[in-house]
């Protein structure tokens, strides 16, 4: 992963630097000048305006200005509150007003339309921690930042305002703040991470070593469970079971595994509901009995299946209180890793978090903002890194906080961030697909659970980028997941 720092941590990195600040400024300015020349496509005769602030960012900009002049670029330099000269046309604007440590609102002077912008460290007026707007920053085509990514570049409005982000090394070490390598405590997931760390399968593996049991798909919501099953299968699960808990008043006997017919319509069975949306032909349904309440035998039946590598609970489950009772009992009885999504999150609140906190096995909660508020009593707020950590610590779980930038946090304080994907994922059912990928990743023994969850989120987004920009459906995703994994893991890994 690529290290990600908060502004406070970056201040500590600067303070601990072995080199003098003027040397660091010279290196940073040189990096800005190199990036500017790449954007200009040349030097001689080009015109650049640098907006330089009063601090180190402004110093970086002034060094870059001098270096560009030496290369033949015609450069003007103004302060952070002076208007951009309009008597001549500029080929590039350099925003070096303020960096990630800005703690007050700032609105730069208007930028001439149609001129590319290079931001130094971060677009001035963008919050370095949360990515919130603190004014009306110039929208950058590219941002050059130093030593490591900053959280504000990839959270909130950051991705929209920063453009292409490049990290320039200037001789600073971030190890003391966020670690490095396998000890990195906060980082951005990359394709290389998937290539190197996606849970593998040994040559002697059998289907039960990566089995996933999907608990969901109640009447009227069977499509959700079907999407989970399809995604888990395409993400590498060796065996996928699907069951819907009985309604509280129903009495059903435990049935044997029933293989889905090739038309995918499901097996209704004489003892009650089984998910009937099109499932993978390889999927298996298993009927559950009991009344859905405390002591329900359906939870005991699921927990007794020791061969399952992971449970995915909640997709199309329904929010009947009796069903939730069974889910909480299942969490207490089962030693399998569990992914709780959708309906398993919406009505659980403190009671569900208490059940998660008591578990020894891995538990993953995957809320969007509304589900987070239902669990924690308040919405995540602007600091999504801290919000994910609060949930992880409260529930002794891995928290996957969904959003344009996905934040995955563990109770040990580690955080992994994924920026893959785009607005194509803003359609019904894509969260069900994500739950299936997470379940398949967790079902493999030996992998780091937090990293497996973060890799699943990254693969989910990368797969969506393969789909059509218009008319994209969640049911398109599972096949794209398989193709993405094939590319990243099989083709992308070169030991």
The pLDDT of residue 208 is 86
Whole-angstrom distance, CA of residue 240 vs CA of residue 123: 47
CB atoms within 10 A of CB 349: 14
Strand boundaries in 360-449, DSSP class E: 363-365, 398-401, 406-409, 415-418
CA distances 166 to 7, 11, 35, 177, Å, are 17, 19, 9, 20
Give mean pLDDT, residues 446-450: 90
pLDDT-derived band at 290, boundaries 50, 70, 90? low
For the chain, give the percent of residues with pLDDT over 70. 91
**Which helix (H) or strand (E) is 142 found in, with range?**
strand 142-146
Confidence of residue 247 (pLDDT cuts 50, 70, 90): low
Q: For the chain, give the percent of residues with pLDDT over 90.
A: 79
CA distances for 3 relative to 16, 24, 124, 228, 470, angstroms: 17, 20, 22, 31, 34
Q: Are 187 and 451 in contact (CB under 8 A)?
A: no
The Cα 142–Cα 117 span in angstroms is 7
Residue 292 confidence (pLDDT): 43
Least confidently predicted of 109-118, 235-244, 288-297, 453-462: 288-297
Higher pLDDT, residue 201 or 277: 201
**166: enclosing H helix or E strand:** strand 164-168
How far is the C-alpha of 261 from the C-alpha of 255, rounded, in Å? 16
Q: Measured between alpha carbons, how far is 123 from 125 in angstroms, rounded to an integer? A: 6
Mean pLDDT of 188-213: 89
Q: Report the candidate in 368, 331, 4 with the shortest Cα–Cα distance to residue 158.
A: 4
């Amino acid at each position: 992963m690529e290290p990600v720092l908060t502004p406070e941590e970056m201040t500590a990195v600067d303070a601990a630097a072995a080199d003098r600040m003027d040397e660091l400024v010279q290196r940073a300015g040189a990096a800005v000048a190199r990036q500017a020349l790449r954007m200009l496509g040349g030097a001689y005769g080009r015109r650049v305006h640098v907006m330089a602030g009063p601090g180190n960012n402004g110093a970086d900009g002034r060094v870059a200005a001098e270096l560009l002049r030496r290369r033949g670029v015609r450069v003007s330099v103004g302060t952070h509150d002076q208007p951009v000269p309009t008597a001549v046309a500029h080929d590039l604007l350099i925003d070096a007003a303020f960096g990630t440590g800005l703690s007050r609102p700032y609105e730069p002077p208007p930028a001439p339309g149609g001129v590319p912008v290079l931001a130094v460290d971060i677009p001035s007026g963008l919050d370095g921690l949360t990515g919130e707007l603190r004014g009306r920053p110039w929208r950058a085509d590219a941002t050059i930042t130093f030593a490591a990514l900053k959280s504000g570049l990839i959270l909130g409005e950051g991705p929209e305002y920063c453009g292409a982000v490049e990290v320039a090394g200037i001789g600073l070490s971030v190890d003391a703040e966020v670690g490095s390598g396998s000890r990195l405590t906060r980082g951005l997931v990359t394709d290389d991470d998937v290539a190197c760390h996606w849970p593998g399968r040994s040559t002697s593996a059998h289907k039960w070593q990566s089995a996933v049991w999907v608990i969901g798909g109640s009447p009227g919501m069977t499509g959700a469970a079907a999407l989970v099953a399809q995604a888990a299968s395409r993400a590498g699960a060796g065996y996928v079971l699907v069951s819907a808990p009985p309604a509280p008043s129903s009495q059903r006997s435990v049935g044997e595994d029933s293989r889905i017919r090739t038309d995918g319509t499901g097996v209704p069975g004489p003892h009650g509901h089984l998910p009937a949306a099109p499932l993978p032909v390889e999927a298996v349904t298993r009927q559950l009995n009991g009344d859905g309440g405390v002591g329900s035998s359906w939870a005991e039946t699921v927990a007794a299946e020791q061969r399952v590598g992971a449970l995915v609970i909640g997709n199309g489950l329904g929010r009947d209180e009796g069903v939730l009772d069974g889910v909480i009992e299942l969490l207490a009885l089962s030693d399998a890793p569990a992914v709780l999504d959708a309906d398993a999150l919406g009505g659980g609140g403190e009671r569900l978090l208490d059940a998660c906190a008591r578990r020894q096995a891995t538990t993953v909660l995957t809320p969007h903002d509304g589900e987070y508020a239902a669990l924690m009593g308040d919405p995540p707020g602007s600091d999504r890194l801290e919000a994910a950590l609060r949930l992880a610590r409260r529930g002794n779980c891995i928290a996957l906080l969904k959003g344009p930038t996905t934040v995955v946090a563990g109770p040990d304080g580690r955080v992994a961030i994924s920026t893959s994907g785009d607005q194509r994922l803003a359609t019904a059912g894509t969260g069900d697909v994500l739950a299936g990928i997470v379940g398949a990743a967790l079902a493999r023994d030996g992998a780091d659970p937090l990293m497996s969850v973060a890799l699943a989120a990254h693969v989910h987004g990368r797969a969506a980028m393969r789909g059509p920009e218009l008319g994209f459906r969640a049911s398109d995703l599972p096949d794209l997941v398989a193709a993405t994994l094939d590319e990243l893991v099989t083709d992308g890994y070169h030991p």
